Amino acid sequence: MRSGGFFVVALAVVLPLHAAAQEEIVLRGNQAYQEGAYPAAIEAYEAVRDAGYTSAGLEYNLGNAYFKTGELGRAILHWERAIELDPGDADARANLELARGLTTDAIEPLPEFWLFSLVGWWIDLVPRTLLLALVGLGWIGCTGGIVARVLARGDGGRRLGTWLASAGGVIVVVFGTSLVVRELGIGRADRAVIMVDAVAVRSAPAQDDDLTLFEVHEGTRVRLDQRTGEWVEVVLDDGKVGWIPLSAMEII
């Protein structure tokens, strides 16, 4: 587990200039973490999140700090959020793999249809910041090529303009589609992490022990299907389905 990396620079990228105070809080959190004052580090990082700022680095740091305090569920939650923001974060994935080995529930995921796996791989292949840059460059190339084709006087200039417009258009369509799908969460159900020590999974949304199917424990990830009041129907990675109270989980 990488415990010395704090992603201060990565966080600074997402903070506007007027948010220097939040950056200072992050630095205090980093210092507290290095000194082993993990609750103080958590307090600092959570204060930044409460102010509306986050990044993969901040979520990663929170996961590390919660893990150090023994809060496995919250550690998993924040590492999952780090991966949502940056699917290529190998350190968060490694920590998550380690933490899952410490959870009570041994869940064997069902095999995923190859086409869904391929689409998911493609969507997560390029980090969000790089996607934005590629779409922006593609847009500039496309519009610049159109302008060049219109204004060019020779065949060479028009051919170059056509090539730029075509290449830019392809980049915008391919990577722009990936960006839209990722930002809107198209085709992806909400997921959550169990936050309590144990919770009964029932066959219906009711507090009736006779309806209990099985239990899930802290740190287990579930997919949310439908909601009825304060109850949520969840699907486990192994395909098991049942109802648990919304209060027992936190959405990734």
Q: Is 67 exposed, middle or buried (CB count within 10 Å of its CB: 0-12, 13-18, 19+)?
A: buried
Ranges in the chain, pLDDT < 70: 1-19, 112-117, 119, 185-188
Asked whether residue 225 falls in the same domain as residue 170, the answer is no
| 70, 12: one domain | yes
Q: Is residue 3 part of a domain?
A: no
Do residues 159 and 213 both lie within one domain? Answer: no
Q: What is the CATH number of the domain that holds 86?
A: 1.25.40.10
| DSSP bridge pairs for 243 | 202, 233
The pLDDT of residue 84: 86
CATH number for 239? 2.30.30.40
Please tell me the pTM assigned to this model: 0.71
Q: Are residues 82 and 23 in the same domain?
A: yes
d(CA 217, CA 244): 12
Looking at the fold, whether 62 and 88 belong to one and the same domain comes out as: yes
From 73, 100, 127, give the residue that closes a domain.
100
Q: Are both 130 and 149 inside the same structural domain?
A: yes
Does the residue 1 lie in any domain?
no
Rg (CA), the chain: 23
How many C-beta atoms surround the C-beta of residue 130 within 10 A?
A: 12
Domain termination residue (choose one: 157, 184, 211): 184
Please indicate, yes or no, whether residues 18 and 96 belong to a single structural domain of this protein: yes
35 with 92, same domain?
yes
Is 77 found in the same domain as 125? no
Local structure of residue 16 (DSSP, 8 states): -
Domain count, the chain: 3
pLDDT of residue 16: 52
**Neighbouring residues of 128: CB distance < 8 A, sequence distance ≥ 6:** 85, 86, 179, 182
Count the neighbouring beta carbons within 10 Å of the beta carbon of residue 38: 19
* 12 CB-contact burial (10 Å; exposed 0-12 / middle 13-18 / buried 19+): middle
Query: Which domain, by its residues, includes 135?
Result: 114-184
Q: Are residues 200 and 175 in the same domain?
A: no
Q: How far apart are CA 47 and CA 89, in angstroms?
A: 23
Q: Which of 67, 100, 133 is the last residue of a domain?
A: 100
